[in-house]
Structure 1
Amino acid sequence: MRDRGPATRLLLVYCGGTFGMRETGVGLAAQTDLGDVLSALVDASSRRHGRPVDWRLAVPRSVIDSAAAGHGTALEIADLIRERVAEGISDGPVQAVIVVHGTDTLAHSAAQTAFALADLAIPIVFTGAQRPIGTPASDAERNFDDAFREAMSGGEPGVRLVFGGAALPACRAVKRSSEAFDAFVARRPAARPVDGVGAELAAALAACAHAAAPRVGMLTMVPGLPAELLQAALDAFPDGLVLECYGSGTGPLVGSVHLAALRRARDAGTPVLAITRCEDGAVDLPRYAVGAAMAAVGVIGGHDLTAEAAIAKLRALRRAGLSGAELRSALDRNLVGEQQRRVPAAAG
């Protein structure tokens, strides 16, 4: 008989989503009473992989369809993980975390957790399902088992998203399909080298747990975007706005009214971060006059951040109390593998 070794202390967080949904007659809805199902999944994976676990279940205050997530939902999940990790299991430290989450905002919550818990040196694995557990051709059991194996693998600490047979860096993952079982992809690999958060920022991230979620959001560039819409986005997201731009960081924002709105935001302390909607390449604001004009009124270049990572990074840093030059410096660093800094081409 194979020696199964000592039990790994595992924290399992169930947040809702398609994984545990049931038909209600008016569509699928998230269920809260999934304890027995999750227990059976843990037991089955433990036996299959020969890895005994001492595990605990944690559930956020609200179990939801992840489409209903608000500004603070992902941070509440991260804070719950931090709290339960601090408590430990059976008088010992938590060694791994699995989070079962809905797919609509799975990449958002995984990225947010990667930044909010960047100071924790344990593997945290997010997963979910395209079809509810117990239904024909469900992918729930397979995804859970893959997440269990990844959490138990002894790999490097950090947050990963496991889905459809792939293990992806949370800070690079995006949802690519509403139907396919391999619904998530990381079109860019985790960036190396990682700068890390450092002792001061690590302490700030820990200290701000359970603080209110900053109002951070995103506005996507489209032809003819009116200045009124830009101003409305800045008003709605006073703690930070991500601009999803064309190409290397351009958009229809060079009119005097648009630039005035961005200038007022800078003066009011609202950081504006530009990212590219392209799957490849990075933001380079000075490359075109349009981007240079945006930079001149305070817009910050976001390298090759995904939309999910940009929102998550900005929100985590703002909740940690960063602003001004300190915030710009942190946004420029590759904290958890989220961005590859662009090296300017040599002149000549």
Structure 2
Amino acid sequence: MATAQPARNIMVLYTGGTIGMQNSANGLAPASDFEQRMREHLAGQADLPAWQFRELLPLIDSANMTPQYWQRLRAAIIEAVDGQGCDAVLVLHGTDTLAYSAAALSFQLLGLQAAVLFTGSMLPAGVADSDAWENLTGALQALAAGVPPGVQLYFHGELLAPHRTAKVRSFGRHPFVTLKRFAGSATPQPLPAALDYRQPKQLANVAVLPLVPGFGAPLLQAALASGAQGLILECFGSGTGPSDNPDFLAALAEARARGIVVVAITQCHEGGVELDVYEAGSRLRQVGVLSGAGMTREALFGKLQLLLGCGLPVTEVRRLVEQDLCGELL
């Protein structure tokens, strides 16, 4: 683990989101005057390090976040650190997909020796009882005090690990929680050079399917026929599904034969996947489904985006799914 160093030159990347929104004819929308408002609010606060500001245009509501945007954000962070000499990056982001973006960038930036914080707010800056300035100022102060290299969320005075964090509330000052998931005992291993943040990455097509009672093969077959390279199967409990449905199992076996990486996670907020506990789980393992252990949907989606976008052989992708890369299985 690299030692936390106080940040002295921070790049603030503004993507949009509620924190800088203002009213429009159709409701709250991202506004591009946030840098000036931020400078006016922070003027005279001597405990803050130097910072510079960049808008990633077009500014978006985070409901419109995409893996393509993550590639732009990745490039902007690398440029700030390696190109402009910044020692930390603060990303201002909408809360709806903030946990997804933080998890995805934690994988996209493997090896980057700088702290990257994501923050935002539930109410726009300037409105009554807004949490915008407290989150923004608190994140800057945290970076000034020293945050270890890697990606974390900062919200309401807390640093949150991206691999266990999910947005569980649409109101209030505490929308994010750290889910209680199984911790594995993965032994750290050297990572392939292709995973390093300096190596080019491609977009990957990853689908997500939550199981429900009566879930049949046709929906699974449709998802697998969509061009998906990876599929996150949100299973019941410790990793069970309709194992008495031969068409469902046959579709999963065919997915493996076609090189589609299928990974099971639990729908439960706590715990994780243990495919060999029940017959209904072990049959999934027998047809090629991998275990996502205690990973959240957000973490596994970001992990598959990385692994499938690196040009690695499918056998290597399958191996790395169940290997810890940056704390997601610990």
Q: Which amino acid aligns with 1:67?
A: A
- 8 Å contact from structure 2 (residues 273, 292) kept in 1: yes
| Residue deviations 1:86-125 (CA, integer Å, cap 9, x gap) | 212xxxx321110000010000000001110021021110
Q: Tell me the distance in 1 between the aligned counterparts of 2:240 and 2:182.
A: 25
Q: Tell me the distance in 1 between the aligned counterparts of 2:197 and 2:244.
A: 36
Q: Which runs of 5+ in 2 are unaligned?
A: 1-5
- Identical counterparts, % of pairs: 37
- The structure with higher relative contact order (CA 8 Å, sep 6+) is 2
Q: Tell me the distance in 2 between the aligned counterparts of 1:217 and 1:56.
A: 37
Q: 1:36 deviation in Å?
A: 0.8
SS at match of 1:109: helix
Q: Tell me the distance in 1 between the aligned counterparts of 2:243 and 2:31.
A: 44
Q: 1:60 deviation in Å?
A: 2.4
TM-score, structure 1 as length reference:
0.86
Distance 1:189 1:159, change over 3 A: farther
Which is strand-richer, 1 or 2? 2
Q: Which runs of 5+ in 1 are unaligned?
A: 1-5, 341-348
Q: Tell me the distance in 2 between the aligned counterparts of 1:191 and 1:250.
A: 19
Aligned residues: 325
Q: Tell me the distance in 2 between the aligned counterparts of 1:66 and 1:237.
A: 25
Matched, 1:56 2:52: yes
Matched, 1:97 2:89: yes
TM-score, structure 2 as length reference:
0.91
SS at match of 1:159: strand
Matched, 1:140 2:132: yes
Q: Tell me the distance in 1 between the aligned counterparts of 2:179 and 2:278.
A: 25
Cα root mean square deviation, aligned: 2.3
- 8 Å contact from structure 1 (residues 124, 160) kept in 2: yes
Matched, 1:319 2:315: no
Match of 1:345 in 2: none
Distance 1:190 1:59, change over 3 A: farther
Matched, 1:39 2:39: yes
Distance 1:307 1:179, change over 3 A: same
Following superposition of structure 1 onto structure 2, how do residues 181-260 of structure 1 map, counting pairs within 5 Å? 181-188=173-180, 198=190, 200-201=192-193, 204-209=196-201, 211=202, 213-236=203-226, 238-252=228-242, 254-260=244-250
| Residue deviations 1:292-318 (CA, integer Å, cap 9, x gap) | 111111110011001100101111111
Following superposition of structure 1 onto structure 2, how do residues 13-32 of structure 1 map, counting pairs within 5 Å? 13-32=13-32
Following superposition of structure 1 onto structure 2, how do residues 268-307 of structure 1 map, counting pairs within 5 Å? 268-307=258-297
- 8 Å contact from structure 1 (residues 12, 56) kept in 2: yes
Q: Tell me the distance in 2 between the aligned counterparts of 1:246 and 1:190.
A: 15
Match of 1:71 in 2: 67
SS at match of 1:28: strand
| Residue deviations 1:268-302 (CA, integer Å, cap 9, x gap) | 11101100111222211121112111111111001
Q: Tell me the distance in 2 between the aligned counterparts of 1:190 and 1:76.
A: 32
Match of 1:83 in 2: 79
